[in-house]
Structure 1
């Protein structure tokens, strides 16, 4: 199996793991008492966390074998896969609107991959990583603050948090790819990037 094919396979399995984790977390949240920490007392919640951790690990390995321009968009399949998986696992059928959204997401992903050219071997240097990291952190902070202020508007709040999470996850992948390409055998030389990845991935 070629490195590119392996990266695609790992990305797909990662998307399945993420989708499974999201389904379980949603189910636990719906069936738990109205308390902020109630889900934490459910073993299923921690099982979902393990699925998310597996998805993240497979995503990182996929980045080591394939280009960021391929691996990152494939992560969007989590949204598409969650619909049939939810119907199969928890007997929840998605409505027509959800399926239209999934079809549009798939079409958009196909178009993005079709327009993606040959991957560049250039990676971010130390200064560029610092600038990008600070800009991303600032943008995520603004979005999260705005979401908190919009607590009376659940839809707006959800969109703001989704954009913040998506941006943080995407930049974590950029840093991960840079670390994988520039790895010298000593984690000390990549400490700042590793800390940035940890902060972005847990946002």
Structure 2
């Protein structure tokens, strides 16, 4: 039996059926799947967030190469001492593995875009594939959380393109987790499914607000310079 997830777009009133790795068909007891969690809806989310993040990562790589060529290069988002891609790029955190972090983004988000476009074209993937995708997205999200903490509290400078990637990863992380819960890729009860159905986008909004608040209070002097 094919280990696959039904790729047909579903409305909130439709029933979603997933298959466990042992080949036994298991129908989720939670029958309501939001439109954004259907293969088409989720495919658009993955594709759009992947494209935006890929473009931001690509620009960062170009800026990093320009800095290699000319250490005095002023990057396109060097606005002031607090909003400066150049300052962030010159930090050790910007090349944690010995090469510019955005190179990881270019490779990773290319994969994300491919998965999103595959969903839009009607492709079906087995449960193990979605577990691997969830693992990759979770690791990427954790890396972004670390980069946020370093930029805000250690480097003391912000990178506009990095913040764009952070925003896209918040969306991608929560929607991926929610969809995997709703489709029983991550086994869970009806209460958890109801929570993710009603609160996924609220979680996205709350975390985005928390990040913006941390930036505002950390760089308050930039917003309200002392007279």
| Shorter-chain TM-score range | 0.3 to 0.5
**Considering only CA atoms, is the larger Rg found in Structure 1 or Structure 2?**
2
Q: Structure 1-normalised TM-score?
A: 0.33
With CA pairs under 8 Å and 6+ residues apart, which has the higher RCO, 1 or 2?
Answer: 2
Q: Which has the higher helix share?
A: 1
